[in-house]
Structure 1
């Protein structure tokens, strides 16, 4: 393994042969793992065979060889980030997939590893200038993964990263799935932020349920909650005052009573401005508005009123 560090750039076939030889014995030390990271960095365009094997080897080392088994500690996170973020380069596909696989199979990991992986995916998309199918799927996977901070729904940090990414590539020729991932994740955050207690919904608001695939429908998650928008403490957590929350519930109730209620184009623009999107609307943002007006017009109306004076609270 020590000789790997001395190798120059390898072809994919040479790297695959070397990796198969390494994997026959496994890796049992960080020195060997670091040599593997250096080998990965020599590949200009690693293929799927290399990526799959690289991910499997390093993930198994982290979760099976390092103590405590199954967990990623703070110290291990420092080490992993130092290997991936060396020299300030953007993580490549193999390194991103390693983080995704580790987060998926770990019993627990620090939230900053999730944030680092999310930022890496966002920065790769922004650098490319568009979101292709592969990077959109990686974005879906990191949002679908259990959050290190225990958040069951999409967090404010994750929603902000999505907005930052979409601001950069919103009018590009993106994967069609990008619109769906963006819209479902942001709506999940908005509904969860406005809900008085998201954990009482028996899984209806979990990131895993909403982002299990790229299908855009969310009616099944929200349909049975539509009448609840008008009661309890809905909108309290996104309003600074009890008055604005009460106003939101009042307008949501009125909207819910409208037979076949839909949000008009004019109302859509008004709602977007309430959220601070006073700019050219991207296809992904339009998909978000369409989700609201088709599935939860009462919630959209209530949220618009909740944000009339205050803006979305930082604690949401």
Structure 2
């Protein structure tokens, strides 16, 4: 059986839904080998545009299938290429915004699973959440039923997942751009019935930017591609060496690794983390500017200062 994507799209447009059986059929026939190419990813996103009733089975399939292409469609796997990021944003964007929570979930899941992504992909995802909070419209706003100027529990969870995701300019840590976004959201939602999680997220997010350790960064996509190419090149003397080593057994490999690392200075991770926990003069100037912008210290800023003092 072969899935006829155009016909499925026309059917989905007619009734606004895609059945559980149709999703299962797509999993079995369009994705039998666990691989998705760009044509298939394009077709899945085209169907998503015309489906108004997006059940959990469809959302799961969309996120998994398109995410597979975005993350593993190019070498090195696990890294989102620049042109792939541009393709994904162009396919999801509708006049500067997303149309559904399913699309936002796709973006956030890619950020969480990626070893590295272009910064603009995370920036785009975060901008969607920020816009929804500020305007009351967007994929997190339940069709506009929630008022602008407050932040929901769902939005807090998405923000936390996105800013601490492995993909982006500061993997698993908060960048200055992200800390500034948290301040903007804080200013726009002061005194509103926000989710209880919001103050904790604001304090931890900005605190992480100022005091968090960023020494665990993954290698860049370009460097990963170089290493993949090197290890795949059997004409290289080192490539041939490791090829021979792979046939000698795990014990010999451990011995060789030990010899290679012997004498190498041990990395002081605790010392690095302790050093980065100190707020530098430029960081303090940045913080003073943010807190002093309106001439007063609000409750969230007070909580942030107390958190930093404890560190």
> What TM-score results when the alignment is normalised by the length of structure 2?
0.64
Indicate whether 1:156 and 2:164 are aligned: no
Indicate whether 1:126 and 2:139 are aligned: no
| Gap change, CA 1:274 and 1:174, over 3 Å in 2 | closer
Whether contact under 8 Å (1:104, 1:146) holds in the other structure is: yes
Between the aligned partners of 2:46 and 2:290, the Cα distance in structure 1 is 49
Between the aligned partners of 1:280 and 1:286, the Cα distance in structure 2 is 10
SS in 1 for 2:23: helix
Aligned to 1:22: 26
Between the aligned partners of 1:125 and 1:39, the Cα distance in structure 2 is 28
Between the aligned partners of 1:146 and 1:85, the Cα distance in structure 2 is 23
Shift of 1:50: 2.6
Aligned to 1:202: 269
Between the aligned partners of 2:283 and 2:58, the Cα distance in structure 1 is 46
| Gap change, CA 1:142 and 1:278, over 3 Å in 2 | same
| Gap change, CA 1:121 and 1:15, over 3 Å in 2 | farther
Q: Render the CA deviation track for 1:246-305: whole Å, top value 9, x for unaligned.
A: xxxxxxxxxxxxxxxxxxxxxxxxx97773242675553343234235x24xxxxxxxxx
Q: Render the CA deviation track for 1:204-249: whole Å, top value 9, x for unaligned.
A: 998xxxxxxxxxxxxxxxxx779x85xxxx6344478xxxxxxxxx
Q: Render the CA deviation track for 1:180-206: whole Å, top value 9, x for unaligned.
A: 1111111222335xxxx9649837998
| Gap change, CA 1:45 and 1:3, over 3 Å in 2 | closer
Alignment of 1:184-199 (within 5 A): 184-191=204-211, 199=215
**Structure 1: gaps (5+ residues):** 207-223, 241-270, 297-316
RMSD of the TM alignment (CA)?
Answer: 3.3
Alignment of 1:69-80 (within 5 A): 69-80=77-88
Whether contact under 8 Å (1:114, 1:148) holds in the other structure is: yes
| Gap change, CA 1:59 and 1:288, over 3 Å in 2 | same
Aligned to 1:141: 161
Whether contact under 8 Å (1:118, 1:139) holds in the other structure is: yes
> What TM-score results when the alignment is normalised by the length of structure 1?
0.63
Between the aligned partners of 1:165 and 1:108, the Cα distance in structure 2 is 26
Alignment of 1:1-316 (within 5 A): 1-7=5-11, 8=13, 10-12=15-17, 14-27=18-31, 28-44=36-52, 46-128=54-136, 129=148, 130-150=150-170, 153-191=173-211, 199=215, 202=269, 235-238=280-283, 275-278=291-294, 283-293=299-309, 295-296=310-311
Between the aligned partners of 2:87 and 2:9, the Cα distance in structure 1 is 18
SS in 2 for 1:88: coil
Between the aligned partners of 2:282 and 2:289, the Cα distance in structure 1 is 20
Between the aligned partners of 1:166 and 1:11, the Cα distance in structure 2 is 38
Shift of 1:126: 2.3
Whether contact under 8 Å (1:10, 1:42) holds in the other structure is: no
Between the aligned partners of 1:274 and 1:98, the Cα distance in structure 2 is 32
**Structure 2: gaps (5+ residues):** 137-147, 216-266
Aligned to 1:311: none
Q: Render the CA deviation track for 1:102-154: whole Å, top value 9, x for unaligned.
A: 12222322121111111122222223322211111010001111252246642
Length, aligned pairs only? 238
Between the aligned partners of 2:59 and 2:272, the Cα distance in structure 1 is 33
